[in-house]
Amino acid sequence: MSDTRTREFEAFVAARRERAIALAWRLVGGDGAAAEDVAQEAFVRAYRALGRFREEALLSTWFYRILVNEARRYRRWRWVRRRFKSEAGPEVADPRAVARGDPVLRLRIARALERLSNGQREAFLLVHLDGMTVSEAAAVTGRAAGTVKSHLHRALRTLRAELADLDPRREASP
C-alpha cells in the first residue's frame, strides 16, 4: 500500500472517528465501551482491506458498511453470550449521553429502538440519526433502496405507536 493512501486513510480516521463511534454506539444499543471497540475494529478491518478498495464507492460509504457489519457481528456475539450465560438486565448506558437529557426518556427510546428488527433499527439510525440518504443507507447496509424505505416506514410506524403518549400534539383523553 502506498504512503499516500495510508496518509489519506489516517486523515479519514481523524475526521470520522467521533461520528463512527456515535453511530456504533447507537447500533450496539448504547454501550460506550462496545461502541469504541466496534469502531476501532471497523477502522482496523478497513485499513487491512484498503488495498482492495477500488473506489467504486465513496470511502465513507465503504467504511460505514464495514462498521455496520462489525456492529452486527458484535450484536450476534452479545446475543450468544447472553443466551448461553443467561445474562440479563438493561444495557449499560453511556453516562455522557444520559447527562445530556432525561435518563428515563432516553432509556424508553433506547428500549423502543431495541424492539425493532435489525434492518429497521439500522435504517432508522442511519437515515434519521446519522443523516444519510436512503441511497447511502442502502449502500452501507448492502440492501436495496426500496428495502431500506420499507424498513424506515415500519420502524417509524412502530416507534410512533410505542411512543405515542410522548407526542405533545396528542389530545388528552376526557
- Measured between alpha carbons, how far is residue 66 from residues 42, 71, 87, 139 in Å? 6, 9, 28, 11
Regarding whether 112 and 86 lie in a shared domain, the answer is no
User: Which grid cell is 165?
Assistant: 403518549
* Residue after which a domain boundary falls, among 95, 123, 151: 95
The pLDDT, as a whole number, for residue 89 is 42
Which of 14, 13, 41, 15 is CA-nearest to residue 27? Answer: 41
- DSSP code per residue over 100-143: TS-HHHHHHHHHHHHTS-HHHHHHHIIIIIS---HHHHHHHHT-
Regarding whether 144 and 73 lie in a shared domain, the answer is no
Which of 65, 82, 43 is CA-nearest to residue 126? Answer: 65
* Residue after which a domain boundary falls, among 36, 64, 95: 95
What is the enclosing helix (H) or strand (E) of 64? helix 59-85
Q: Are 36 and 42 in contact (CB under 8 A)?
A: no
The tens-digit pLDDT sequence of the chain (174 residues) is: 677 878 888 999 999 999 999 999 988 888 888 999 999 999 999 998 888 888 777 888 899 999 999 998 888 777 666 655 543 344 434 433 433 567 777 778 888 888 899 899 999 988 888 888 899 899 889 999 999 999 999 999 998 898 888 766 665 544
Q: Are 65 and 139 in contact (CB under 8 A)?
A: yes
The pLDDT, as a whole number, for residue 63 is 92
The pLDDT, as a whole number, for residue 169 is 65
* Residue after which a domain boundary falls, among 95, 126, 146: 95
Domain range for 58 is 1-95
Regarding whether 153 and 75 lie in a shared domain, the answer is no
The pLDDT, as a whole number, for residue 143 is 93
What CATH number is given to the structural domain containing 123? 1.10.10.10
The pLDDT, as a whole number, for residue 15 is 93
Q: Is residue 171 part of a domain?
A: no
